[in-house]
């Protein structure tokens, strides 16, 4: 039998983007926009991104290296205040093994002509499969992807 464990951790990431809060919020709220940046590394195989952005709505995406394992993200939207905040709970799986359960809060604050985004995650990391440092690293990469997507959108406008 596998020895069970849980490690609790919280991390906060702040970013400033040169776009209005409504635009940054929309990048989280619309399926096409979020699907353009909420992805794993380029070499990963990817699933369809499902997003039902409303309180009680769900989000699902998976992917991973061709040889596996498949990383599965399942989210549930708990609170949404347009252009100000999103709170969601989500769990992560490696294939069929649940590796974490988290509560994430995304805040959108005006910062001059741009937006200061504050991302706070409180996680329960299970049985040694994942840890807060790895999750924070991955989340920083996703927020980098968000910045690049906003920049591309601005260039195409």
What percentage of the chain carries pLDDT values higher than 70? 98
CA atoms of 144 and 139, how far apart (whole Å): 9
Reported as a single tens digit per residue, the pLDDT across 3-19 is: 899 999 999 999 999 99
Q: Which CATH architecture is the domain 6-156 placed in?
A: 2-Layer Sandwich (3.30)
Residue 1, pLDDT above cutoff 50: no
Q: Tell me which residue has tokens 């002509």.
A: 113
Take residue 76 and report the two structure tokens written for it.
């549930």
pLDDT at residue 2 in the model = 67
Domain ranges of the chain: 6-156
Reported as a single tens digit per residue, the pLDDT across 37-91 is: 998 888 888 888 899 999 999 999 999 998 889 999 999 999 999 999 999 999 9
Take residue 57 and report the two structure tokens written for it.
């709505």
pTM of the model: 0.93
């Amino acid at each position: 039998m596998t020895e069970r464990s849980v490690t609790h951790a919280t991390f906060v990431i702040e970013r400033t983007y040169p776009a209005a809060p409504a635009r940054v919020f929309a990048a989280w709220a619309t399926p096409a926009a979020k699907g353009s940046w909420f992805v794993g590394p380029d070499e990963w195989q990817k699933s369809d991104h499902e997003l039902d952005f409303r309180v009680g709505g769900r989000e699902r995406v998976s992917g991973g290296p061709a040889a596996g394992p498949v990383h599965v993200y399942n989210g549930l939207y708990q609170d949404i205040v347009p252009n100000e905040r999103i709170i969601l709970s989500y769990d992560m799986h490696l294939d069929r093994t649940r590796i974490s359960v988290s509560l994430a809060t995304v805040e959108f604050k005006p910062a001059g002509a741009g937006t200061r985004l504050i991302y706070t995650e409180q996680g329960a990391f299970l049985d040694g499969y994942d840890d807060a440092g790895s999750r924070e690293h991955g989340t920083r990469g996703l927020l980098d992807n968000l910045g690049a997507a906003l920049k591309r959108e601005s260039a195409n406008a």
